[in-house]
Structure 1
């Protein structure tokens, strides 16, 4: 179940992760591993914290699965050049956000990011139950 509820903690995490993503895209783009892989791992965590900023969600595992499916759909849409078909010009913000090239490595990075999220949620849940 989802309830509209603002969380300052998740909102601040979202801003921090977003700034890390901007840093990766602008200042660390010359470091291949960081730009090519780490940014894609982190982006699913960014989506998670953004959603948790505004919604209280009881089943975090379903949320993570939903984010994984969403990220896969966006990546597969890139295969069909969706940004161009929607009329976004190369170099525009939306063209960059949506992406313009399909990659199986990106799919793997999203899966790794969601796996890390899942493990973190499970660890957090276990810590709460043990205290």
Structure 2
């Protein structure tokens, strides 16, 4: 499996966590919050202090904070959030179509 799939799935997960936490907020807010979070984590990898590097060497640190900054990860995060929007819109349309049929 290509390495970038993990970054796309991570951003997709962030999108749906944000969607769950802020269910009443508009999708534009969810998209912005998700991308800011993902990009913020990626740019934080440019910060190289001993305490955060020690944290990055743990399993939790590697999974949440990552290990090194890559510009390509920003593209993967954008794709992951885009997939989240697509899935979210598809589910919303399907649920709306079902509820209007039964009404």
Which TM-score band (shorter chain)?
0.7 to 0.9
Task: State the superposition RMSD in angstroms.
Answer: 2.5
Distance 1:123-1:61 versus aligned 2 partners, 3 A rule:
farther
* Residue in 1 that maps onto 2:48: 81
Normalised to the residue count of structure 1, the TM-score between the two structures is 0.59
Distance 1:63-1:113 versus aligned 2 partners, 3 A rule:
same
- Equivalent-residue separation in structure 2 for 1:58 and 1:68 (angstroms): 15
Q: How many residues are matched?
A: 97
- Name which of 33, 44, 59 aligns with 1:93: 59
Q: What runs of 5+ residues in structure 1 fail to find an aligned partner?
A: 1-30
* Higher helix residue share: 2
User: Helix, strand or coil: the match of 1:115?
Assistant: helix
Higher relative contact order (CA 8 A, sep 6+): 2
Normalised to the residue count of structure 2, the TM-score between the two structures is 0.72
Distance 1:69-1:51 versus aligned 2 partners, 3 A rule:
closer
* Higher strand residue share: 1
Tell me by how many angstroms 1:61 deviates: 3.2
